[in-house]
Amino acid sequence: MQTDPIGPSHFRQSVLAVPPLARNSNLAICPQQNARMIQYLEAGGVSMLLYGGNANFYHLRLSEYADLLEMLQSTAADDTVIIPSAGPACGTIMDQAEILKEMQFPTVMVLPQNNVATEAGFQKGFRRFVERIQRPAVLYIKEEGLLTPQGAAELMDEGLVSFIKYAIVRDDTAVDSYLEELVDRVDPERICSGIGEQPALIHLTKFRCVGYTSGCVCVNPALSQAMLKAITNKDHDKAEDIRRLFVPLENLRNEINPIRVLHEAVELAEIADTGPHLPFLSGIALSRRIDVRDAAIQLKNAQSA
């Protein structure tokens, strides 16, 4: 596992994959199937993996956290970056910090907390977490209302943030006053587009974000890597052609549920046996599984021109 601090060169080399987490029928974490997922991504050219929402880190048991992190860091190739998540509750991240401080992950993402938090309170908790793990953390901005661009910039200016994962969904990606202000206050090379392939081209061109995260990269990593390369080479027509190939599966994720659909798409495309969801999630309806299977297989077999 690579332990160097995360910088722009990492994002230019690899899409930041956000994979699901495979479990056995008894809900125990499955090392073999998670290794299968990691190796599939690595074989497709991906060298950065973020375990967050798609892996349902929201509902991890603290008692399984250390073993899971050990498994991830021992499974990854020497040049692969693994970024785990912590939180979202304050008590949870501080208990997880005691485990993380003994490990060599280059950074950790703090899961977003909007329900019982204020901006000043969240900043204080973020500072305490970073102080405890003794390395900058990933700031995940998923919704408006908790952290202003100014508040995010303050954390960045204090040296507490590795990078920002920006994932506020807009009806029109190109119209985003929050992101406009954020890139004015924070170096765009420290901001990663966090909503997959669909807004990536606009985020990386108009707003100058440094790279992008993806869940569907888990279905066709080489294709997502080709899109990143096209954007980097300013071949925007090719990037747009590739982006369209991800639309059918992404539409199902948006329509049904992003986490649940990706979890099952990976299994239905025979990439890895992801197993059952943790409570409080459940599988998708049988009728929709057929749609997801077809879209996943179509994406898995797709190639760029």
The Cα 15–Cα 45 span in angstroms is 9
The sheet with strand 16-17 has its strands ordered as 81-83, 48-50, 16-17, 211-214, 191-193, 161-166, 137-141, 109-110, 85-86
Q: The pTM is what?
A: 0.97
Q: For 156-183, write each residue's pLDDT tens digit.
A: 999 999 999 999 999 999 999 999 999 9
Sign of torsion over alpha carbons 272, 276, 281, 282: positive
Q: Judge contact between 137 and 110, C-beta under 8 A.
A: yes
Q: pLDDT band for 115, please (50, 70, 90 cuts).
A: confident
Q: For 229-266, write each residue's pLDDT tens digit.
A: 999 999 999 999 999 999 999 999 999 999 999 999 99
14: closest CA among 211, 244, 197, 223?
211
pLDDT at 305 > cutoff 80:
no
Kindly report the backbone phi and psi dihedral angles of residue 235, in degrees, each rounded to the nearest multiple of 5, phi listed first: -95, 75
Residue 165: strand pairing partners: 140, 192
The Cα 232–Cα 15 span in angstroms is 12
pLDDT of residue 80: 98
CA distances from 246 to 5, 37, 268 (A): 30, 19, 16
Cα dihedral 184/186/191/195 (nearest 10):
-50
Surface-to-core class of residue 293, CB atoms within 10 Å of its CB (0-12 exposed, 13-18 middle, 19+ buried)? middle
pLDDT of residue 9: 97
Sorted by where each begins, the domain ranges of the chain are 8-244
Q: For 75-97, write each residue's pLDDT tens digit.
A: 999 999 999 999 999 999 999 99
Please, what is the average pLDDT of the chain? 97
Return the ∠ at Cα 207 (arms to 152 and 224), rounded to 5°: 105
The Cα 169–Cα 260 span in angstroms is 18
The Cα 77–Cα 43 span in angstroms is 11
pLDDT at 130 > cutoff 90:
yes
Q: For 273-294, write each residue's pLDDT tens digit.
A: 999 999 999 999 999 999 999 9
The Cα 48–Cα 70 span in angstroms is 17
Record the tokens describing residue 95, joined without a space. Answer: 């208990």
Q: pLDDT band for 70, please (50, 70, 90 cuts).
A: very high
Say whether domain 8-244 belongs to CATH 1.10.645.10.
no
